[in-house]
Structure 1
Amino acid sequence: MQTRKIGKTALSVTEYSFGTAPLGGMYRACPRDAAMETLEAAWDSGMRYFDTAPWYGFGLAERRVGDFLRDKPSGSHVLSTKVGRLQRPVPDDQVPSYGFVDPLPFETDYDYSYDGIMRSVEFSYARLGLNRIDILFVHDIGVYTHGAERNAVYLRQLLDGGLKALEELKSGGTIAAYGLGVNEIEVCLDVMRQATIDCILLAGRYTLLDRSAVAELLPLCEAAQTSLIVGGVFNSGILATGPVEGAHFDYLPATPEVLEKVAAMQAIAESQGVPLAAPAMQFPLQNPLVASVLLGTARRSSLERNMALESHRLTADQFAAYEAHTLVAPPLGTDAVRV
């Protein structure tokens, strides 16, 4: 699989990468055997970049990714995890769900400060059982997660100390790159106007359907040489299923407007002789700012089905046909489980 560079760093990642939120039991239980089988399928497909987070199953996904990668050759893969959430043990009857099924017995505390980020990294090393983390993403900072009042506090933590911690980790060689892992545009703009970051893991905001990132964020990324890793390319499933009854967009039932736009896109895909999921998966990589497209699943069959979409290669002219049916800035569902 081809690779692309992360920002101005020397680090390169595969064009398709594996996201591990489903391995932490997002929305449905994921037995360990299924998790390891799916990770193996990702490796067999050529993926060598794996993304995880303490949030996914409250440490469960990190444990599983670490177990899988531990015996892989040194330097053969890239690993990212996230900071901003610290896991605190709680009694079994006090474990929250937050959309995860059968998570580990922890509760989450937010901390984007210097000390909080340093503690988060140490905890992640322990859960992973690995001695190398390549990329750190500041996880889910922003108004959609925290509300305006709390986010102002957390953003100040990050700008006053958290970014210093990340820069120290990078300059000291502990990590190779850092950035944001979010679902919203505004916080990316807020941070990039005050600091330089290497990359952004952005879910759902630069897709075949949703072009929210185009107006302001992409020009900022180009000027700063900040790479994008794009998640949520199917926008909660609707670009994979089409406008079927019960289709979801941004974690909520799709509105009539979204259903109409996706129906038009599906008709175009049919006229091109491809499933709609193929241009959805390939679209972000048409932009050189995008280093990787992140695909997450807890099933080997789903992973293999998604990677088979690569055989339906589209041209620039074919992608242009979808432009008239895009969304600019749709709302994000407030109950989202984020990248």
Structure 2
Amino acid sequence: MALKEILPGRLGLGTAPLGNMFRAVPDEEARATVEAAWDHGVRYYDTAPFYGAGLAEERLGQVLAARPRDSYVLSSKVGRVVLDEPETGVPELGEKSGLFAHGNPNRVLHAWTAEATERSVEDSLKRLGTDRLDIVWVHDIAQDFHGDAWLGRFEEARTGAFRVLSRLRDEGVIRAWGLGVNRTEPVELTLALDEPRPDGFLLAGRYTLLDHGHALQRLLPMAQEQGVEMVVGGPYGSGALAGGAHYEYRQAPPEIVARVGKLRALAAKHGVGIKAAALRFALAHPVAAAVVPGATRPDRVAEDSAALAENIPAAFWHELREKGLVSPAAPLPHGA
């Protein structure tokens, strides 16, 4: 099923920050953030066991438990099983080391087998306190976590998670499945398979104002040709576009800081909010079904909601193109 037929709107809430990404978020702040998203009309919520070793799912479920299940769409991910035992060492997370150092202390098993996938779904349902997931993403089978070993993880998922999720979709247990990754190559490889067939993908950080050229070369044309749609994660580049210090979950390098400065200056010239520009850029591609920025403060959710409704003059997009701040192949609003 097409994602646009499932998703209730173009703005969702990404819950990685609710898993205590980068910092320890107080429970009351996490709850207030989810409630603010609801109050602003957000009805799509994306989460994962990996986010704080189940913490994000637990926090999200506590708020959504008071809402009718048919009134929102929920996606989670498979690939990590949260164990009922403490982590005694330092988790090996490739480029993302220390990302959830403030999350739950549980050990997390990284596995994309059929058995692990079924257990992961069952455990997510328990933490979320719900009877079903609408969409399930196969999480992080890419180079940023596994380096040169990523193809082995992909094959494990192809013969395990992909087949389980295809069956669950065909049985009506879930409505759609796909990949949730920070790199384009695993999605490209999946779209090149004869079977199983994903319904969409969540691509984090690879279709933003700061980084989109690579996705436009091969992945997005393939997806458009096959009718496979995309949820855009990380539209602010881990916060760099929204005034944060991080890019790709690390301290933003000088070249990114300089690029952000140029984008912000141009936005200011046209009286445009940088968040509005980031969200509208991501959604301008025909493959994009929704965008899911993360947040841990209620006021950030309010900003995101207002940004999506902001009027952006065509002149901004035209000058963005003229100054070479976006790829010539990137679709822009107003046909710029």
Amino acid at match of 2:147: G
User: Residues 322, 73 of structure 1: CA spacing in aligned structure 2 closer, same or farther, 3 A cutoff?
Assistant: same
Quote the Cα distance in structure 1 between the aligned partners of 2:30 and 2:217: 38
Quote the Cα distance in structure 2 between the aligned partners of 1:88 and 1:73: 29
**Superposition CA RMSD, Å:** 2.2
Does residue 1:87 correspond to 2:82, yes or no?
A: yes
Amino acid at match of 2:33: T
Quote the Cα distance in structure 2 between the aligned partners of 1:257 and 1:9: 35
User: Residues 91, 240 of structure 1: CA spacing in aligned structure 2 closer, same or farther, 3 A cutoff?
Assistant: closer
Quote the Cα distance in structure 1 between the aligned partners of 2:252 and 2:69: 44
| Equivalence map 1:104-115=2 (5 Å) | 104-115=104-115
The one of 22, 27, 34 aligned to 1:32:
27
Q: Which residue of 1 aligns with 2:273?
A: 275
The one of 266, 290, 293 aligned to 1:292:
290
Quote the Cα distance in structure 1 between the aligned partners of 2:81 and 2:198: 22
1:198-253 CA-to-partner distances (Å, cap 9, x unmatched) read 111111111122113111111111011111111111112221228xxxx4322333
Quote the Cα distance in structure 1 between the aligned partners of 2:154 and 2:169: 20
Q: Which residue of 1 aligns with 2:123?
A: 123
User: Residues 95, 256 of structure 1: CA spacing in aligned structure 2 closer, same or farther, 3 A cutoff?
Assistant: closer
1:158-182 CA-to-partner distances (Å, cap 9, x unmatched) read 1223211011110111100000111
What displacement does 1:327 show? 7.1
Q: How many residues align?
A: 318
Amino acid at match of 1:123: D
Does residue 1:202 correspond to 2:200, yes or no?
A: no
| Equivalence map 1:58-207=2 (5 Å) | 58-91=53-86, 98-149=98-149, 151-194=150-193, 195=195, 196-207=197-208
Quote the Cα distance in structure 2 between the aligned partners of 1:103 and 1:251: 16
Query: TM-score, normalised on structure 1?
Result: 0.87
Amino acid at match of 2:163: K
Quote the Cα distance in structure 1 between the aligned partners of 2:182 and 2:32: 28
What displacement does 1:107 show? 1.1
Amino acid at match of 2:271: G
3-state SS of 1:137 partner? strand
Amino acid at match of 1:197: P
1:3-27 CA-to-partner distances (Å, cap 9, x unmatched) read xxx6278423321000111111111
Contact 2:140-2:182 at 8 Å conserved across structures: yes
3-state SS of 1:321 partner? helix
Quote the Cα distance in structure 1 between the aligned partners of 2:99 and 2:127: 21
Contact 1:132-1:174 at 8 Å conserved across structures: yes
Amino acid at match of 1:288: P
What displacement does 1:258 show? 2.7
Amino acid at match of 2:218: E
1:81-105 CA-to-partner distances (Å, cap 9, x unmatched) read 0001111232376585832254223
Contact 1:208-1:322 at 8 Å conserved across structures: no
- Deviant stretches of 4+, over 6 Å: none
Q: Which residue of 2 aligns with 1:331?
A: none
Contact 2:7-2:44 at 8 Å conserved across structures: no
Quote the Cα distance in structure 2 between the aligned partners of 1:214 and 1:304: 30
Amino acid at match of 2:108: T
User: Residues 130, 95 of structure 1: CA spacing in aligned structure 2 closer, same or farther, 3 A cutoff?
Assistant: farther
**Structure 1 unaligned spans of 5+:** 1-5, 329-339
Amino acid at match of 1:298: T
Does residue 1:14 correspond to 2:9, yes or no?
A: yes
Quote the Cα distance in structure 2 between the aligned partners of 1:136 and 1:238: 28
1:141-190 CA-to-partner distances (Å, cap 9, x unmatched) read 112211212x2221111122321101111011110000011111111111
Contact 1:261-1:326 at 8 Å conserved across structures: no
